[in-house]
Amino acid sequence: MGKWLVLLLTLFGAAVLGVQAALPPAPVAADAPPSDFAAGRAMADVRRIAVAPHPTGSAANAAVRTYLIDRLIRSGFTVRTSRVVLPEKVRTRMAGRGAPATEAINIIALRPGRDPAADAVLLMAHYDSVPGSPGAADDAAGVAAILEIARAIPRADQARDLVVLFSDAEEAGLNGARDFFGRPSKTEVTLGDPLAGRTGVVINLESRGGGGRAMMFETGPGNGGMVGVFQSVVHDPAANSLAVKIYELLPNNTDFSPAKWRGLPGFNFAFLGDARLYHSPLATPDALDQGALQHMGAQALDLTRALLAAKALPDRAPDLVFGDVLGAFVIAYPPAIGWLVLAAAGGLIVYAARARRQDWTPGQTGLALLDALVAALLAAVLLYAGNLLSGGDGVTNYYDRLAALPRLEVQALLLSAAALLLTRTLIAARRSLWDGWLGLALFVLVVTTALQALLPAGAPIFAWPLLLIAIAMALTARARPGTLWPTLLAAIPSLALIGGFAHFVLLGVGISMPMAVAVFAPLVLLLLWPLLPAAPRRPILLAALALVLAAGALALWVRLDPMAPSVPPYSDTK
């Protein structure tokens, strides 16, 4: 089997596996068994909630509130409301957006369990929308999912109380949630609602888009015990501890933030796909990806059912490193285990180097470490230039850039591929198989070791693909020359895993910082190195040029096309 064929099979296999893992499940129809989460049932509530824009203080918001109170009462809850006076700056901002309001009104519901003294489980979503958007995803989907979860769990199955908080004025600054959980200050935290003091765990449902898989992207402090529950009970999971750390670094908050400030454990879910629908007038029920609703609701139902039935909630424990493996299951372990993974990878690399010591030289292997650095820098430069060409060099509209995100993501893929081709052809062309492979492996090992020391939550994204390719190196070192199957088997799942996380990164920061995915370039080059066939320089350079030109065409398309119809009417150029 020629190298070209093996390379194509590897890329095709990784693409199929990665795309399959990135897709949300099919929505379940309304006639599903009562114990299941069914997006088909939840959509009835989405259509009632998101019939029109319903910002805080509006008549439409009051109509949604009346509907939700009735739905909760019919589900066996005792319901009350709580009025929240909005700060003056919030009133001014709301008035400037054409939605004047002086107060928000939280909906607080309680359905008692068998043990009223046990800590309660709280489900939370906000029922207000931004002005001008029906808010089918943000956050009618979260509200409807909670109603469906409450329906799917009979009260008889509750060992502990179930609390539902439908907060108001989230879009105006988390005002409803801040009032419920207590407003932190430099000197104290106000008590908030009495039920906040009885809450043992919080599950918040959000969105920033209109589709895709729902990621569990934030946990409360001391998450070790809670992540263990997530790992054991959630089917079709999507979670990653690096996503948690990345979100902590971003200047963003959701209604989960006030709960976290209070020190409560919990889980925050959101889907980010189809980002054009974020705060958009086009965010109607018909535009909502029902698979995204299904995925978020099903994960939250698994968690809620397990936590409500638990005799005792997990105690706070040291944070775990965790992540789903292509949506199939979750791996979770203490950060120290990462050192064992690195030690195993390093040992296998040394074993391969000793077994093929006649096929590499220290000088060329050392230069290959620089090849890896060049690949990352070249990818970053091309991605930065592409971002500028697409309009990132001037004042942009945030929502218009979100609408362009699919094109920007394809542009990033093309430019990253061009960077790898240029690195292999211009910089690393003289490296032998083992010189280049060992040098790249050592570079990734050093980078991953630094991550393990400084940011353990980020190390698995590099460590597990490194371990797989180290196993492939050890097997190849003892195989007959030209053996490629170990690399193929290691590269397919590794590339799918890296591609999935790069997709998440681009959804999160790609409109302003696509250069972030350049960090994966050395690892991708390492995974593909033995499969890259020798080819004349000219055709490879022409292929790289074609990729750059195609990316440039996409960038100009983004730069020159008119403002997207999905942009909120109140948005400015920020």
Give CA–CA dist 151/36, Å, rounded.
10
Backbone φ/ψ region at 289: left (φ over 0), alpha (ψ -120 to 50), beta: beta
Q: Is residue 566 situated within a structural domain?
A: no
My answer on whether 234 and 112 are in the same domain is yes
My answer on whether 297 and 410 are in the same domain is no
Give CA–CA dist 419/551, Å, rounded.
12
Question: What 8-state DSSP symbol labels residue 430?
Answer: T
Residue-level pLDDT at 345: 98
My answer on whether 192 and 317 are in the same domain is yes
Q: Is residue 567 situated within a structural domain?
A: no
Q: What is the CATH number of the domain that holds 52?
A: 3.40.630.10
Q: Is residue 454 situated within a structural domain?
A: yes
Residue count of the chain:
574
Contact 442, 346 (CB under 8 A): no
My answer on whether 349 and 278 are in the same domain is no
In 3D space, the residue among 448, 466, 457 whose CA is nearest the CA of residue 321 turns out to be 457
In 3D space, the residue among 269, 316, 314, 307 whose CA is nearest the CA of residue 120 turns out to be 307
Residue-level pLDDT at 437: 96
Bridge-based pairing state of the strands 321-324 and 120-126: unpaired
The residue segments making up the domain with residue 181 are: 25-333
> How many structural domains does the chain have?
2
Q: Is residue 7 situated within a structural domain?
A: no
| DSSP-assigned beta bridge partners for residue 269 | 205, 216
Q: Is residue 481 situated within a structural domain?
A: yes
My answer on whether 155 and 44 are in the same domain is yes
My answer on whether 274 and 157 are in the same domain is yes
3-state secondary structure of 558: helix
In 3D space, the residue among 133, 144, 135, 189 whose CA is nearest the CA of residue 166 turns out to be 144
My answer on whether 295 and 437 are in the same domain is no
My answer on whether 318 and 342 are in the same domain is no
My answer on whether 213 and 305 are in the same domain is yes
Please say which residue of 279, 299, 333 terminates a domain. 333
Residue-level pLDDT at 186: 47
My answer on whether 311 and 433 are in the same domain is no
Q: Is residue 573 situated within a structural domain?
A: no
Mean pLDDT by 10 residues, the chain (574 residues): 86 96 96 97 98 97 98 97 94 89 97 95 98 96 98 95 97 95 64 92 96 95 95 96 85 92 95 95 98 98 97 94 95 97 98 96 94 96 97 91 96 97 88 95 98 95 97 96 93 96 90 93 96 89 96 97 92 57
Tokens at residue 266, please? Answer: 């919990």
Please say which residue of 333, 357, 372 terminates a domain. 333
Neighbours of 38 (CB within 10 A): 23
Q: Is residue 526 situated within a structural domain?
A: yes
My answer on whether 296 and 386 are in the same domain is no
Q: Is 311 exposed, middle or buried (0-12, 13-18, 19+ CB in 10 A)?
A: exposed
3-state secondary structure of 3: helix
Q: Is residue 15 situated within a structural domain?
A: no
My answer on whether 270 and 286 are in the same domain is yes
Amino acid at 204: N
Give CA–CA dist 80/131, Å, rounded.
25
pTM for this one?
A: 0.94
Q: Which residue has the tokens 């790289």?
A: 544
